[in-house]
């Protein structure tokens, strides 16, 4: 067994991390970083130090985990939560407070967003409580501090900041009325005793976590999540995880862009995987009929030659697409992608966004097609590789998913 494999297995055992989901280079970099900090000369020396120190074990986990979150990420999820919470209180005749769980809660943006969303729809403080949990003590400590920089406020609608934060020299401090609604603690989803004595939760947020696990771990974690969710509760997940939950027996509640699933449903039948052929450039010995260039959205027609648009226009449009997609504005983001393809040469990043938007909408075959187009143009596009791998794995094509994950890992190593 190689020294690297020992660290991969350690992280798999401790936090369920599938090395293929992030790439070997990420873990190797973290191991090098921690080895240097301890003056370990070899991998064996660092391995022995790792085994002998629980603090170092946590430090390696922290070096691998890079929180990427912001307030009101996927806004429709929080709007949907607000509507469902009001209805749920009426359903239980206001006999108890609603219970909401956020895990992993990272540095606190999600659980605090939940609290702000419920306060904004008129719920009183005694009507709900939010539990935030994360495997990282450092992230939990930052969440408890409740002070955030500009990177935590993204998108065009940040009006909530004026209502719920106070600006100070080191950032924006969240209001006490929001902080008091949230209880934060360290916890691991792989711990079989996790929240064992707690009542179930009306709403559970577990977004963009399952994609980092292999299939057995995904099923193990799903059973934990299902057990934590009230029989009439709702589970909120990440955009790329919907097909997985559908295969495991959950069903979408039917609200676009909410990524919300109900707990009780009959298991869906296993989907039949039909591999899509890799895109092949069009070739023809005859000069006619005229064909569009591969993957162009323009119809086949003779058009006047126009000078290429300024490069800055392309960059601005790509930035706009990313902003719209991250704000959950799928229709606007898709329209921006089409505008880009009409006025610029095909770009892998645009097809990646179209794939992700289709993935979110539940159009798995369409998403596969777009991801493959992105990879035709840029074979080592890491995001397209990983999302297509997750999609294939959710459809049962484990071998195909592993091949793509290996490509993504090789691409990461070269960077």
Q: How far is CA 62 from CA 8, 28, 136, 191, in A?
A: 14, 14, 6, 18
pLDDT digits (tens, 9 = 90+) for 250-273: 888 888 888 899 865 444 444 444
Alpha helix positions (H), 52-207: 54-64, 75-91, 109-120, 137-145, 160-164, 176-179
Same domain, 212 and 148: yes
Q: Which residue has the higher pLDDT, 71 or 1?
A: 71
Same domain, 211 and 350: no
Same domain, 218 and 255: yes
Q: Which residue has the higher pLDDT, 68 or 182?
A: 182
46: pLDDT confidence band, cut at 50, 70 and 90?
very high
Of the candidates 220, 239, 262, which is a domain's last residue? 262
pLDDT the model gives residue 285:
41
**Is 341 a domain residue?**
yes
∠ CA(280), CA(286), CA(291), 5° rounding?
Answer: 50
Token pair for 102: 């956020």
pLDDT the model gives residue 274:
41
Same domain, 39 and 142: no
228: pLDDT confidence band, cut at 50, 70 and 90?
very high
Burial call 133-164: b when 16+ CB within 10 Å, e when fewer: bbbbebbbebbeebebeeebbbbeebebbeeb
Residue among 240, 32, 214, 207 nearest 132 (CA) = 207
Across the strands, what pairs with 205?
102, 236
Same domain, 48 and 90: no
- Of 142-151, 345-354, 397-406, which range is least confident? 397-406
Place of tokens 């949907």: 80
Same domain, 228 and 87: yes
Q: Which residue has the higher pLDDT, 282 or 234?
A: 234
Name residues whose C-beta falls within 8 Å of residue 299's C-beta, 6 or more positions apart in sequence. Answer: 292
Please say if the pLDDT value at position 93 is more than 90: yes
**Is 152 a domain residue?**
yes
Of the candidates 36, 64, 92, which is a domain's last residue? 64
pLDDT the model gives residue 288:
39
Q: What average pLDDT does range 284-293 have in this prediction? A: 40
∠ CA(65), CA(66), CA(69), 5° rounding?
Answer: 125
Determine the Cα–Cα distance for residues 12 and 20; give it in Å rounded to an integer: 11
pLDDT the model gives residue 110:
97
∠ CA(53), CA(56), CA(60), 5° rounding?
Answer: 145
Same domain, 30 and 167: no
Of the candidates 64, 83, 115, which is a domain's last residue? 64
409: pLDDT confidence band, cut at 50, 70 and 90?
low
Structural domain including 28 reads 3-64
195: pLDDT confidence band, cut at 50, 70 and 90?
confident
pLDDT the model gives residue 261:
92
Q: What average pLDDT does range 74-82 have in this prediction? A: 93
Q: Which strand ranges, in their side-by-side order, compose the sheet holding 147-148?
A: 147-148, 171-174, 165-168
Same domain, 44 and 110: no
**Is 299 a domain residue?**
no
**Is 101 a domain residue?**
yes
pLDDT the model gives residue 404:
77
pLDDT the model gives residue 47:
92
pLDDT the model gives residue 96:
96
**Is 276 a domain residue?**
no
pTM above 0.85, yes or no: no
Same domain, 56 and 138: no
Q: What average pLDDT does range 32-43 have in this prediction? A: 91
Same domain, 407 and 332: yes
Average model confidence (pLDDT) across the chain: 81
Please say if the pLDDT value at position 276 is more than 50: no
pLDDT the model gives residue 410:
64
Determine the Cα–Cα distance for residues 78 and 344; give it in Å rounded to an integer: 35
Q: What average pLDDT does range 93-112 have in this prediction? A: 96
Q: What average pLDDT does range 152-156 have in this prediction? A: 86
**Number of domain units in the chain:** 3
Q: How far is CA 351 from CA 198, 355, 357, 379, in A?
A: 44, 6, 10, 13
**Is 92 a domain residue?**
yes
- Identify the CATH number of the domain in which residue 360 sits: 1.25.40.10
Q: How far apart are the first and last CA of the chain?
A: 25
Same domain, 115 and 234: yes
Token pair for 255: 């609200």
**Is 203 a domain residue?**
yes
Q: Is 113 exposed, middle or buried (0-12, 13-18, 19+ CB in 10 A)?
A: buried
Is the CB of residue 208 less than 8 Å from the CB of residue 238?
A: yes
Please say if the pLDDT value at position 293 is more than 50: no
pLDDT digits (tens, 9 = 90+) for 330-378: 788 888 888 888 888 888 888 888 888 887 776 777 888 888 888 877 8
Residue % of the chain over a pLDDT of 70: 83
Same domain, 225 and 325: no
Alpha helix positions (H), 277-381: 311-326, 330-343, 348-360, 364-377
**Is 292 a domain residue?**
no
Q: Which residue has the higher pLDDT, 151 or 406?
A: 151
The distance of Cα 183 from the centroid of its chain, to the nearest Å, equals 23
């Amino acid at each position: 067994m190689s020294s690297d494999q020992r660290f991969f297995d350690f992280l798999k055992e401790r936090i369920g991390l599938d090395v293929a989901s992030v790439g070997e280079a990420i873990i190797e970099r973290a191991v090098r970083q921690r080895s240097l900090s301890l003056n370990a000369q070899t991998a064996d020396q660092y391995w022995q130090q790792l085994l002998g120190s629980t603090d170092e074990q946590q430090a390696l986990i922290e070096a691998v985990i890079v929180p990427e979150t912001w307030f009101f990420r996927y806004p429709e999820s929080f709007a949907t939560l607000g509507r469902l919470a009001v209805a749920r209180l009426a359903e239980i005749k206001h006999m108890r407070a609603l219970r909401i769980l956020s895990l992993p809660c990272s540095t606190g943006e999600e659980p605090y967003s939940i609290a702000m969303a419920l306060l904004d729809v008129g719920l009183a403080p005694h009507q709900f409580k939010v539990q935030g949990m994360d495997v990282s003590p450092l992230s939990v400590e930052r969440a408890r501090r409740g002070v955030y920089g500009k990177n935590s406020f993204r998108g065009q609608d940040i009006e909530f900041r004026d209502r719920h934060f106070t600006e100070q020299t080191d950032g924006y401090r969240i209001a006490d009325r929001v902080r008091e609604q949230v209880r934060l603690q360290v916890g691991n989803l792989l711990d079989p005793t996790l929240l064992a004595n707690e009542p179930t939760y009306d709403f559970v947020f577990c977004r963009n976590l399952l994609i980092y696990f292999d299939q057995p771990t995904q099923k193990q974690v799903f059973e934990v999540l299902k057990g934590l969710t009230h029989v009439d509760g709702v589970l909120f997940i990440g955009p790329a995880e919907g097909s997985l939950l559908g295969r495991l027996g959950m069903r979408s509640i039917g609200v676009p862009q909410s990524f919300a699933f109900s707990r009780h449903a009959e298991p869906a039948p296993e989907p039949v995987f039909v591999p899509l052929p890799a895109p092949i450039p069009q070739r023809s010995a005859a000069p006619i009929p005229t064909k569009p260039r591969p993957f162009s959205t323009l119809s086949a027609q003779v058009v006047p030659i126009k000078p290429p648009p300024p490069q800055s226009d392309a960059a601005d449009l790509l930035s706009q697409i990313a902003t719209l997609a991250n704000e959950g504005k799928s229709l606007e983001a898709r329209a921006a992608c089409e505008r880009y393809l009409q006025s610029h040469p095909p770009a892998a990043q645009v097809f990646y966004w179209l794939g992700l938007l289709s993935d979110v909408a539940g159009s798995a075959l369409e998403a596969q097609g777009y991801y493959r187009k992105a990879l035709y143009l840029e074979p080592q596009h890491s995001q397209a590789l990983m999302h297509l791998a997750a999609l294939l794995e959710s459809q049962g094509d484990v071998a195909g998913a592993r091949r793509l994950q290996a490509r993504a890992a090789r691409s990461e190593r070269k960077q």
